[in-house]
Amino acid sequence: MSSESQRAKHVAIIMDGNGRWAKRKLLPRAMGHQRGVEAVRELVRNCGDLGLECLTLYAFSSENWKRDEQEVDDLMNLMRKFIKSDLQEFIDNKVRLKIIGDWQGLAPDIVEMLEDALAKTSAGDHTIAVALNYGSQGEIARAAAKAATMGEVTTESIGLHLDTADLPPLDLLIRTSGEVRLSNFLLWQSAYAEMLFVDTLWPDFTVEHLQEALDNFAGRERRFGGR
Ligand code: IPE
Ligand code: IPE
Ligand code: MG
């Protein structure tokens, strides 16, 4: 398959490296997370122009509860602040917000804010999917359990019950900060996704970095097991 003109429709990012960014600058970790939110904001503003149908962002994993209470609190407060300050921008930029993961398990006030944001952005023409309290193994287990109640458990029936069922197939998975692992993110969806691991720490990741990643993707040859 010639891949010269292929364009990514669905990109996912493991936004890693906020803590190391702060450490290098002798700042508190919370500052790294705050700058990380600013990087997210820039992508939200531009992802329509990049031609993406969906950008999926790993914001908080089901394992991140293991962090100390102060850091978890800081992250939850940043989330509250971000929804309040940026919801109107989502609407103005025609972004449809989607949340994946066990987000109903977050604090009730955050769940309420998210429900409101989901309703107000439902008419958007491209999607930002945010993974909150997300773990891929849990997602697959939930999907398999649902599939089992409805009939035969097959790859198709599991796929239909994943949190991402209504999203286009994943084309490209990016992880920042130099770590080369998936950390329980989109394990099922990554079966044939292209992967890109970059050293940039998340707060330094810009629209130009994303454009570079898309250019890199455009030149890859995908085979899906064929030849
Ligand atoms: C990613 O940055 C943000 C979240 C996991 C919420 P980290 O906080 O993991 O940053 P590092 O990996 O410690 O540098
Ligand atoms: C993955 O990063 C989760 C997010 C980016 C939200 P982590 O920093 O939690 O992953 P590990 O612990 O290095 O594998
Ligand atoms: Mg990390």
Average pLDDT over the chain reads 97
The answer to whether residue 42 sits within a structural domain is yes
Nearest CA owner, ligand 2 atom 1: 183
Residue 16 falls in the annotated catalytic set: yes
Transcribe the chain into DSSP letters.
---TT---SEEEEE---HHHHHHHTT--HHHHHHHHHHHHHHHHHHTTTTT-SEEEEEEEETTGGGS-HHHHHHHHHHHHHHHHHHHHHHHHTTEEEEEESSGGGS-HHHHHHHHHHHHHTTT-SEEEEEEEEE-HHHHHHHHHHHHHHHS---HHHHHHHSTTTTSPPP-EEEE-TT----TTSSTTTTTT-EEEE--S-GGG--HHHHHHHHHHHHTPPP-TT--
Q: Kindly name the residue from 18, 46, 64, 216 that is annotated as catalytic.
A: 64
The amino acid that residue 17 corresponds to is G
The answer to whether residue 13 sits within a structural domain is yes
Closest among 144, 138, 141, 133 to 107, alpha carbons compared: 133
Q: What would the two tokens of residue 55 be?
A: 């950008």
**The domain that contains 172 carries what CATH number?**
3.40.1180.10
Residue 64 falls in the annotated catalytic set: yes
Helix 207-218 to helix 29-46 angle, to the nearest 10 degrees? 60
- pLDDT of 129-178, one tens digit each? 999 999 999 999 999 999 999 999 999 999 999 999 999 999 999 999 99
The answer to whether residue 143 sits within a structural domain is yes
Evaluate: CB of 58 within 6 angstroms of ligand 2.
Answer: yes
Residue 206: pLDDT band (50, 70, 90) is very high
The answer to whether residue 227 sits within a structural domain is no
User: Structural domain tally of the chain?
Assistant: 1
Q: Output the pTM of the full model.
A: 0.97
Which pLDDT belongs to residue 3?
A: 45
The answer to whether residue 223 sits within a structural domain is no
CA of 113 from ligand 3 middle (Å) equals 26
The answer to whether residue 83 sits within a structural domain is yes
The residue-averaged pLDDT of 68-78 equals: 98
- pLDDT of 10-33, one tens digit each? 999 999 999 999 999 999 999 999
The residue-averaged pLDDT of 182-206 equals: 98
Evaluate: CB of 21 within 6 angstroms of ligand 2.
Answer: no
Domain coverage including residue 102:
4-218
Which pLDDT belongs to residue 2?
A: 46
